[in-house]
Amino acid sequence: MGLFSDLLIIDCASFIAGPAAATIFSDFGARVIKIEPPGLGDAYRNLIRVRAPPGTVDYFWTADSRNKESLALDLKTPKARAALDALIRKADVFITNYPFPIRERLRLRAEDVTPLNPRLVYASLSPYGETGPERDRTAYDTTAWWARSGLMDMVRATGETEAALSMPGMGDHPTAVSTYAAILTALYRRQITGEGGVVSTSLLANGLWANACQVQAALCDIQLLPRGPRGQRSALNETYETADGRLVVLALTNPAREWPRLAEAVEHPEWLDEPMFATIASRLEYAAVLAAWLQEAIGARTWDYWKARLAEAGVAFGFMATTADHADDPQVIANGLLPEFADGLGLRTVDSPFQIEGEAKQAPRMAPEVGEHSRGILEELGLGAAEIDALTD
């Protein structure tokens, strides 16, 4: 049981952003049925073969498909489509991110689906939006969220630095949260009106939202300059390497208060009397000098030392983690951010990124095999054994 135990979600989507929105609902108890083609299933299952290091576990699929039931249907066949329609009539939410031309061919557009169930919330996710000249283009988060939004350009270390590709799912997962929020808003409206409806979002919209501060500057006719090289940037908002090769990230947004604390923390209170560092303007003018001095001080000690020292000093800082750091991170563990699969023999996964006081999440269940639950779901829909045999064959 769970907060959403009375909800039935149809995940008729592919890859990450749409399906991950359904995963969030499943964490709070919703029943999620994944619709995927027979045979190879969702193309996301193949990403492990073409994009990632080999492993004994398909970690892409494991992360985003937990708690779901898999119903394998060839939607180009009338009998399979009839089964999907029967399921739609029972469902609360239908999620799809199929390209619009495919939705049209498979009759999965909102105008095809919503007449079957007036209470249904139809969630449409697209790369570039529901209208416009690029409506029918296919894309991934690396192109529509990361590159198109301007984030790819803005995060370069300098204007000459080679642009970096995003990591798989980097824009999809925040877009999934946006999709979840849109669906939940429509469900709230349904509670008031009794009617479902259509919600939509896109990778482009979420990329612009993620880059909103910089986009707003452009809308205000402010020309943002490319980042300067190290030594031209503020030394109080910079990275420094420790003696054991870790990177400390300083983010001092209140220098009047935090600069004296930092000078004390690095055991150089005399810097506070140095004219080069007396004001914000002078610290920026002599940023290369201050950065070199800070690097020398921070480079003399290990990360463990600086973690305790800077925390005690009360300055804003962090460190550049590797993905391998999180499994044993006390802060991550204390907040339950990597829950253990109920049936995964000790395997953990990444939790959805929020909690609701008084509402426990479901213990995650391992992601399904292609069509693992087809027979049981089809039986629920009232199909006889011969019909089920024909469909599953």
More confident residue, 343 or 368: 368
Given a cut of 80, whether residue 55 has pLDDT beyond it is no
Q: Is 119 exposed, middle or buried (0-12, 13-18, 19+ CB in 10 A)?
A: middle
Query: What DSSP letter does each residue of 120-154 carry, written as one string?
Result: PEEEEEESS-SSSTTTT----IIIIIIITTSHHHH
> What is the pLDDT confidence band of residue 146, given thresholds at 50, 70 and 90?
very high
Q: Please write the tens of the pLDDT for every residue from 170-181.
A: 999 999 999 999
Q: What is the pLDDT of residue 293?
A: 98
Mean pLDDT, rounded, for 19-42: 97
Strands across the sheet with 239-241, in order? Answer: 239-241, 247-250, 317-319
Looking at residue 240, its pLDDT comes to 98
Q: Which of 49-58, 327-336, 346-355 has the lowest mean pLDDT?
A: 49-58
Helix extents (H) in 220-286: 255-265, 280-285
pLDDT at 57 over 90: no
Phi, psi of 249 (to 5 degrees): -110, 115
Higher pLDDT, 362 or 56: 362
Contact 178, 210 (CB under 8 A): no
Q: What is the pLDDT of residues 235-251, one digit of tens each?
A: 999 999 999 999 999 99
Percent of residues, the chain, with pLDDT higher than 70: 99
In angstroms, the CA 59 to CA 340 distance is 14
Measure CA 71 to chain center.
25
Residue entry with tokens 């910079």: 238
How high is the pLDDT of residue 224? 87
Write the CA distances from 92 to 79, 100, 110, 125, 371, integer angstroms: 22, 22, 14, 17, 21
Q: For the chain, give percent helix, strand, coil, nearest 5.
A: 45, 10, 45
**For position 22, what pLDDT does the model report?**
98
Mean pLDDT of 3-7: 97
pLDDT at 48: 87
Provide the b/e sequence for 294-332 (b: ≥16 CB within 10 Å).
Answer: bbebbeebebeebbebbeebebebeeeeeeeeeeeeeeb
Tokens describing residue 66: 């937990």
Tens of pLDDT, residues 262-310: 999 999 999 999 999 999 999 999 999 999 999 999 999 999 999 999 9
Least confident residue range of 211-215, 273-277, 337-341, 383-387: 383-387
The pLDDT value recorded for residue 72 is: 97
CA 165 remoteness from chain centre: 16
User: What is residue 49's predicted lDDT score, i.e. its pLDDT?
Assistant: 82
Helices 78-90 and 385-392, packing angle to 10 deg: 110
Scanning the structure block, which residue is given the tokens 């599953």? 392
pLDDT for 1 equals: 80
Q: Is the pLDDT of residue 192 over 80?
A: yes
Model confidence at 360: pLDDT above 80: yes
Answer whether residue 257 shows pLDDT above 70.
Answer: yes
More confident: 358 or 393: 358
Which pLDDT does position 105 carry in this prediction? 97
pLDDT at residue number 331 = 96
pLDDT of residue 52: 62
Domains observed in the chain: 8-211+339-392 (3.40.50.10540), 239-324 (3.30.1540.10)
